[in-house]
Structure 1
Amino acid sequence: MKRRTWVLATTTVAAVVAGAVLIGSRDKEPATARDTPTNTAPVQRGTLTAEISQSGTLTYRAQPNGSPYPVVNQAGGTYTALPTDGAEVACGDVLYRVDDRPVLALCGTVPAYRELRSGLTGHDVRQLNASLHALGHDTAAGVAINPDDNAFTWRTQQALRVLQHAKGLQLTGRLAFGDVVFLPGSVRIAAVTGALGGPAQPGAPVAQATSNTIEVQVALDPSQQGEVNPGDAARVTLPGNRSVPGKVDRLGRVAQVATGQTAATVPAYVSLDDPTAARGLDRAPVLVRITTTEVDNALSVPVTALVGAAGGGYAVEVVRPDGRRELVAVGLGLFDAAGGRVQVEEGALREGDRVVVP
């Protein structure tokens, strides 16, 4: 069972009950036999859930705050080849060209900030070693690189020469500052900011990138932030009314105000169990239902069965097997808006009883 946060949707329940006749002294009178009403519903036992429904937008996962990864150029010259929006670039691929010289994408979280050559050590060298090993260039060179090694050794040099030969770079055995852009993994180009034929200026962004994994971004009201947690189950309705399961992956920590809006919201990111189900739907609007609370084995009645009891509280009118009708006071627990049912405390009410509904 998930968190036992018992939620009573008082406003919703009160609105439903508002149309019912308030029971006065009748609930104190002995039950009398009456004709069995035609409109009844069973008391059921099962799982109830509370949900938050929000509109969302399909997007591609990038940094934890939802913003894309910057692709920063460090080569000087003229852009002679650039990727297109939506292009997928794997680690080891040519990302773009400056003066027809390839600039490679390699895997790593530390941005390129210097030339890498024999004798150097550091985190940037470690991610170079890891990339050369993952791409198999050390094996092709007849050497074995430890991907956790942070030293630029002769093994690194030999494997780098294989990479340079494969991608059309000069076989120098060192990695020039402008020859590589380190990115967290294989990426999808979200936008290109450089211009083909335009100047390639060191330190200037050339593109923005995301991962290849699609997710849903939802803008929560700050009051809902405490109800939603990472790992909560979700269901996403895609264009075409196709519904797919997912879960809350992470929550933003800072409230944001969208362009043209005045109210602040907190971003939540929902991952899909099968991301391929949403391929080709970038920036498409979707409906997201997040399950915030779940109670197993709960006794419940339709919310429309509730009537107001004299002196406050709620009751339901039960039709007994012999046709007698009597009022039974109930305490309320979780309100399941999607199912239109509300959890009731046990007492004189049992599973299988039939209660009067409008």
Structure 2
Amino acid sequence: MAVAVAAVAVGGAIGLDPGGDEDPPPGGRGGTSVEVTRRTLVDQTAVDGTLGHGPEIPLPVKATGTVTWLPQQGDRITRGATVLRVDDRPVTLLYGALPMYRDLGPGDTATPDTSSGPSTAKGADDANDAEKGTDGPAESPGPGAADAPEGNAGTGGTGSTGSTGSTGDTGSTGMDVRQFESNLAALGYTDFTVDDRYTAKTAAAVKRWQKHLGVPETGRIAVGDVVYTSGRITVGRVAVRVGAQASPEALGYTGGERRVTVEASAQDGAWAVRGTRVTVEVPGGEPVEGRVRSVSREMRSAEGADPEGGGKAEGAQDATFTVTIRLLDQSAIGRTERAPVTVRYVSDRKAGVLAVPVAALVALAEGDHGLERAGTEGGFVAVRTGLFAEGMVEVSGRGVRAGMKVRVPE
């Protein structure tokens, strides 16, 4: 078989070997030999990303009144700390998935009520009997209790009983009570059972907490007294000034953990699925493993797109969406807070294929690729190429086997 031999460059381009005047060394042509191996090839694609604290979202502040103190942009706030003060009363950060949507407090039987007789609810009597002698009568409801939505306040109301309502006489009940009590216990205020019932013992712990905060010791929590996030936060934008009215748009925040965001192309964004493994390369640091945490549903229009819907204009970019990546080891990126990074994800993977270094490929006269057998066996064998990855190439064809030695041309 007549062949013209040419080494294939790493990028896959094929060029003709110009040859040389030197005679080949005794025993065969120059170059080194390698074995055909069976292995897994993984092709990775690199995209640009930004290290930071993730997308900024509004802090769900529900306190009403005049802002009397604000944090600074970049401040880190943890559980139990003040996020802002309204009417000189602290709004405290707690951790949880449920928002603060109502006032919380013990039942009415713990508060003297001259407008109506004592409750006859058996459940209330049993609950109060269990708590008798611990704290005495509860104090008046805290600020905002009188304005609580019907059926939602812990002062009775007409809400139905159940896991998300209140029974009135027995106090607030529901998963939001359990969430609040879990935070109260984490802050060191205990001597009550963490469950879905706001009891007199809960109220006693709240009074001790309120004393520490320097606010009236009511034993009740108004809807605007606390705000929940999933964890510690970093203050972002500050949209109001001291002296302005508080609002849910007063502060923006990001998560306390550093994350990476990528503006992924809609055309090549199939990799962007929650849980996808990626590798993040921070300038001057070692690669860090990450996972796709969230994928935005909002698609941004491509720059330069034809407004008439006739496709992209010349030089236009694909539409993009935001991918947020969680870093598995925060310490591995040192103290860097913000930086451009490179994110690599697996775009193709093939297991158990025969592979050789790309440099071992030669171009045959017929236009195909081939490998040159090393040693005394000599000769060329035609191959089909598959995946190119990590400086290797998948090869197959008649006569190609694992362990076969092939020459890498000089």
SS at the partner of 1:124?
helix
CA distance in 2, matches of 1:313, 1:228: 36
Alpha-carbon shift at residue 287 of structure 1 (Å) = 1.3
What do residues 129-183 of structure 1 show as CA deviations (whole Å, max 9, x unaligned)?
221233231x2xx33332xx1x322222122112211222210111123221122
TM-score w.r.t. length of structure 1: 0.77
SS at the partner of 1:156?
helix
SS at the partner of 1:316?
strand
Q: Contact 2:64 / 2:86 at 8 angstroms: preserved in 1?
A: yes
What do residues 230-281 of structure 1 show as CA deviations (whole Å, max 9, x unaligned)?
54443322122x2223133235253633896742124333332311233543
- Does 1:86 pair with 2:84? no
Q: Highest CA radius of gyration, 1 or 2?
A: 2
What do residues 291-346 of structure 1 show as CA deviations (whole Å, max 9, x unaligned)?
3444455432222332344656432222x322x5311122333320xx22112237
Q: Contact 1:249 / 1:271 at 8 angstroms: preserved in 2?
A: yes
Read off the aligned partner of 1:333 and give its amino acid letter. G
SS at the partner of 2:66?
strand
Read off the aligned partner of 1:19 and give its amino acid letter. G
- Does 1:117 pair with 2:105? yes
Change (3 A) 1:16 1:177: closer
Match of 1:29 in 2: none
What do residues 56-97 of structure 1 show as CA deviations (whole Å, max 9, x unaligned)?
111224xxxxx3332133333332221222222112212211
SS at the partner of 2:12?
helix
CA distance in 1, matches of 2:261, 2:344: 12
Please report the RMSD computed on the Cα atoms of aligned residues, expressed in angstroms.
3.1
Match of 2:372 in 1: 317
Match of 1:212 in 2: 256
User: How many residues end up aligned between the 2 structures?
Assistant: 318
- Does 1:252 pair with 2:295? yes
Match of 1:237 in 2: 281
Alpha-carbon shift at residue 228 of structure 1 (Å) = 5.4
Q: Identity of counterpart residues, as a percentage? A: 31
Match of 2:193 in 1: 144
Match of 1:37 in 2: 29
CA distance in 2, matches of 1:245, 1:223: 26
Alpha-carbon shift at residue 186 of structure 1 (Å) = 2.0
Change (3 A) 1:123 1:289: same
| Structure 2: segments with no counterpart, 5+ residues | 1-7, 18-24, 107-170, 305-316
Change (3 A) 1:308 1:266: farther
TM-score w.r.t. length of structure 2: 0.68
Alpha-carbon shift at residue 113 of structure 1 (Å) = 3.0
Q: Contact 1:231 / 1:247 at 8 angstroms: preserved in 2?
A: no
SS at the partner of 1:200?
coil
Structural mapping, 1:41-80, within 5 Å: 41-45=33-37, 46-61=39-54, 67-80=55-68
Alpha-carbon shift at residue 353 of structure 1 (Å) = 1.0
Match of 1:178 in 2: 224
Change (3 A) 1:128 1:273: closer
Change (3 A) 1:114 1:230: closer
SS at the partner of 1:239?
coil
Q: Contact 2:93 / 2:229 at 8 angstroms: preserved in 1?
A: yes
Q: Contact 2:278 / 2:344 at 8 angstroms: preserved in 1?
A: yes
Change (3 A) 1:168 1:193: same
Larger CA deviation: 295-304 vs 254-263: 254-263
Match of 1:19 in 2: 15
Alpha-carbon shift at residue 102 of structure 1 (Å) = 1.1
